[in-house]
Amino acid sequence: MKKITIIGAGFAGLTAVRQLRKLEQDVEITLIAPRPELQYLPSLIWVPSGLRKREDIIIPLANFFKRMDVNFVPASVTGLKDQGRTVETDQGSVTNEGLIIASGGRFIKKLPGIEHAITPCEGIDAAEKIRDRLAAMQGGTIAMGFAGNPNEPSAMRGGPMFEFLFGTDTLLRQQGRREQFKITFFSPAPKPGIRLGENAVKGLMDEMAKRDISTHLGHKMLGFEANKVKTEGGEFAADLILFMPGMTGNLWFDNSELPRSAGGLVKANQHCKVEGLPAVYVAGDSGSYPGPDWMPKQAHMADLQAECAAKNLIAELTGKTAEATFKIELMCIVDSCDKGLFVSRTENKNTVLPANKAMHWAKRGFEWWYLRQYR
């Protein structure tokens, strides 16, 4: 029986489990992650408004692992050796005949004073902190923004920041408190969200203007203070700062033979194969893949890459040609707690649908549909 190890219990890791089991029942699957749970990050945007709570976001995986016959190892990975055949963890070593790396990315926290900013996509703790800070504020300035990894154009997560931005505005209006707050959106990019396409950027900027959200764009970030955002284009006061930095690879990558991109991610080809290592694949935010500079770091893309990685790993282990590729597709609903802007992009088409209530409910419906397979 072939032994396959998966690192990570996020979107890519769990999709890899499902795809492996779909293709081959007679393989031993071991999954390594700190906890047997999935944090459904797309729904963090609804925590500040109370639409979602901790128990809605964190999905226990014990039943899923039992159904899929997965050996779960509760541990944190510390390194990789023997050309990927040995995964080192803080609980000992795990050997394999095939490996899928799906351990996500790491936010770059090098800006001076970044401890004064909340990074929303770090998980439920951050979302609850935003909820509590907003509830305690009587007024003031709220600053929200994001940046990227200059050496890895795709290694950013800007979409959720637009959602927190518009969602916060909606919440304050519903509470009758919006006039007591100034909201400022900032980014070093002159056209934030350009990976969504020109029409989407125009729609987002128009929405900000309509909601009386000011902008501070196109200036390199210098850092933060407890109540201030500092850029090369000036600084401005902020009583609450939400900031999504660019992403890079996990720290444990440094203790491995993994080839790295300029931005610090695992270098892979169009088949999700890690260059130079036999039977080692990567999926999701951990990897750097060939493709257009708008290729997103999002759950949908991670799922597509995980399916590709699983197909090719099984092919390689059974002596077949590992030739599967993944579709490059950006698809998202930029939600504002009561309506949503739909955006999709492929190499041939870019579609943007005006924000409407149906898209908000479609996003909530997709959440239910997606999570039912893990509950």
Each residue of 219-253: pLDDT tens digit? 999 999 999 999 999 999 999 999 999 999 999 99
- 3-class SS string, the chain: CEEEEEECCCHHHHHHHHHHHHHCCCEEEEEEECCCEEECHHHHHHCCCCCCCHHHHEEECHHHHHHCCEEEEECCEEEEEHHHCEEEEECEEEECCEEEECCCCEECCCCCCHHHCECHHHCHHHHHHHHHHHHHCCCEEEEEEECCECCECCCCCCHHHHHHHHHHHHHHHHCCCHHHEEEEEEECCCCCCHHHCHHHHHHHHHHHHHCCCEEEECCCEEEEECCEEEECCEEEECCEEEEECCEECCHHHHHCCCCECCCCCEEECCCCEECCCCCEEECHHHEECCCCCCCCCCHHHHHHHHHHHHHHHHHHHCCCCCCCCCCCCEEEEEECCCCEEEEEECCCCEEEEEEEHHHHHHHHHHHHHHHCCCC
**Number of C-beta neighbours around residue 373 at 10 A:** 11
Tokens 């500040």, located at residue: 48
Fold of the domain spanning 109-245: FAD/NAD(P)-binding domain (3.50.50)
* pLDDT tens-digit series, residues 7-45: 999 999 999 999 999 998 899 999 999 999 999 999 999
Tell me which residue of 231, 326, 302, 244 sits closest to 11, measured CA to CA: 302
β partners of residue 231: 221, 234
Q: What is the pLDDT along the chain (375 residues), one digit of tens a residue?
A: 899 999 999 999 999 999 999 998 899 999 999 999 999 999 999 999 999 999 999 999 999 999 999 999 999 999 999 999 999 999 999 999 999 999 999 999 999 999 999 999 999 999 999 999 999 999 999 999 999 998 987 888 888 999 999 999 999 999 999 999 999 999 999 999 988 999 999 999 999 999 999 999 999 999 999 999 999 999 999 999 999 999 999 999 999 999 999 999 999 999 999 999 999 999 999 999 999 989 999 999 999 999 999 999 999 999 999 999 999 999 999 999 999 999 999 999 999 999 999 999 999 999 999 999 999
Q: How far is CA 159 from CA 69, 82, 192, 296, in A?
A: 35, 38, 10, 10
| Cβ 47 vs Cβ 20: under 8 Å | no
| Cβ 143 vs Cβ 238: under 8 Å | yes
| Cβ 80 vs Cβ 258: under 8 Å | yes
Two tokens at 264? 């610090």
Tell me which residue of 112, 80, 82, 109 sits closest to 7, measured CA to CA: 80
User: Residues 6 or more apart from 369 whose CB is under 8 A from it?
Assistant: none
User: For domain 2-106+247-317, which architecture applies?
Assistant: 3-Layer(bba) Sandwich (3.50)
How many Cα atoms sit within 13 Å of 375 on the Cβ side? 10
Q: How far apart are CA 344 and CA 264, in angstroms?
A: 27
At 265, give phi and psi (nearest 5°): -90, 170
One-letter amino acid at 35 equals R
Tell me which residue of 175, 173, 195 sits closest to 183, measured CA to CA: 173
* pLDDT tens-digit series, residues 275-296: 999 999 999 999 999 999 899 9
* pLDDT tens-digit series, residues 334-343: 999 999 999 9
Tokens 């033979």, located at residue: 257
Task: Say yes or no: do domains 2-106+247-317 and 109-245 share a fold.
Answer: yes
- 191-194 contact pairs (CB < 8 A, 24+): 191/217, 192/145, 192/146, 192/158, 192/217, 193/158, 193/159, 193/162, 194/294
Enumerate the domain spans of the chain.
2-106+247-317, 109-245
What is the model's pTM?
Answer: 0.96
Tell me which residue of 128, 131, 137, 133 sits closest to 181, measured CA to CA: 137
Residues in the chain: 375
